[in-house]
Amino acid sequence: MTMTEFLTQHLQGEHATGLAAILGNVELAVKKIATAIDEGAIAGNMGSLDSENIQGEVQKTLDVITNDIFVEALLKSGCVAGMISEEVIDPIQVASSNGQYLLCFDPLDGSSNVNVNISVGTIFSVLKANNIKPELNDFLQAGTQQIVAGYALYGTSTMLVLTTGNGVNGFTLNKKTNQFVLTHPNMQIPQDTTEFAINMSNYRFWQEPVQHYIDECLQGTEGERDKDFNMRWVASMVAEVHRILVRGGVFMYPSDAKSKMGKLRLMYEANPMSFIVEQAGGGSTTGAQRVLEINPAGIHQRIPIILGSKNEIDRIAGYHLVKKRKR
């Protein structure tokens, strides 16, 4: 079944027409981005630019190319009133639009991987526009308000994984037909896991609950957990979340002494991924709070995030709670 056929069958209610248009254009954008990434150095798409984004990170050539592809495709949907992107400081207002939706996206997540030919992704989410000419405040909605969230993974295959609030489905790009095909219906994250993903080089900066959890994992059969754990770190959140959707695991970018609010951005990284993970039966927390319930203070706000297999997430949240009680 193609993604278009799937959406025709599954999108229902007041949002069906608008979301079909938006997702059709997301699909087009993702195909174009996949081609730009595939062509890489041949098309002169590699390397960095002189510019920086709002987070002060040097922009890669592909950061800008992929942002432009996404904006251009979504402008065509006619349903989007405004957009925010990791690569653009202010909200993008769609001047001539009667659009009823807002789009939040990171066009190229994990872009430090691009020049070394490792998987990257695109993350997006759709909110209802309460205003035809949306201002910054109109975007500041909690993650529970998301109507759709998804990511594209440019890995060994190109995939699009989506939730419309009714489970999670994964589609693989068939390059022969140029169509996304349903290959991963109703994705479910196993409740238990023995795999974790965290940037271990930050160990000395973490707070005690995270250190405690990782210490236990490292002790394996010789410690409290009485089982050995495995570790992965791709440095691409999309690749880590995809692995967790396929075989379980925990992904963490927690708050630490260097970056109190963590590294990842709430509105176009943490919220869409948390929506997808919860829809697949997993959990997502800052340690102290469910990510989806946070009221954003800014469109580029950062947030600590710990997500994945439900029983492990509950355990880590429990460690944070114990620490809070001791204070």
- In the bound state with Mg ion, the residue whose beta carbon lies nearer, of 123 and 214, is 123
Residue 287: closest CA among 207, 219, 194, 214: 207
Q: How far is the CB of 315 from Mg ion (least distance, A)?
A: 28
The stretch among 46-54, 64-72, 80-88, 253-261 that binds Mg ion (CB under 5 A) is: 80-88
Q: Which of residues 92-111 bind ligand AHM (CB under 6 A)?
A: 106, 109-111
Q: What does the alpha-carbon distance between residue 174 and residue 15 come to, in Å, rounded to a whole number?
A: 28
DSSP state of 155: S
Q: What does the alpha-carbon distance between residue 175 and residue 20 come to, in Å, rounded to a whole number?
A: 22
- In the bound state with ligand AHM, the residue whose beta carbon lies nearer, of 31 and 242, is 242
Structure tokens at 251: 């992904």
235, interface contact from ligand AHM, Mg ion, none, CB < 5-8 Å by kind: ligand AHM
Question: What is the radius of gyration, based on Cα positions, of the chain?
Answer: 19
Phi, psi (rounded to 5 degrees) for 188: -130, 130
- In the bound state with ligand AHM, the residue whose beta carbon lies nearer, of 114 and 129, is 114
From 27, 106, 240, 312, residue interacting with Mg ion (rule: CB under 5 A)? 106
The stretch among 14-22, 84-92, 164-172, 300-308 that binds Mg ion (CB under 5 A) is: 84-92
Cα distances from 142 to residues 123, 211, 243, in angstroms, run: 17, 29, 26
Taking residues 123 to 152 in sequence order and writing x for each that binds ligand AHM by CB under 6 A, - otherwise, the string is: ------------------------------
Q: What does the alpha-carbon distance between residue 107 and residue 88 come to, in Å, rounded to a whole number?
A: 11
- In the bound state with ligand AHM, the residue whose beta carbon lies nearer, of 4 and 199, is 199
Q: What does the alpha-carbon distance between residue 33 and residue 103 come to, in Å, rounded to a whole number?
A: 17
Q: Which of residues 268-297 bind ligand AHM (CB under 6 A)?
A: none
Q: How many chain residues touch ligand AHM (CB under 6 A)?
A: 14
Q: How far is the CB of 304 from Mg ion (least distance, A)?
A: 16
Q: Does 109 bind Mg ion (CB under 5 A)?
A: yes
Q: Are 216 and 224 in contact (CB under 8 A)?
A: yes
Q: What does the alpha-carbon distance between residue 27 and residue 180 come to, in Å, rounded to a whole number?
A: 8
Structure tokens at 59: 């922009």
- In the bound state with Mg ion, the residue whose beta carbon lies nearer, of 104 and 162, is 104
17, interface contact from ligand AHM, Mg ion, none, CB < 5-8 Å by kind: none
* Distance separating the N- and C-terminal Cα atoms of the chain: 54
Residues at the interface with ligand AHM (CB under 6 A): 57, 86, 106, 109-112, 199, 235-237, 253, 263-264
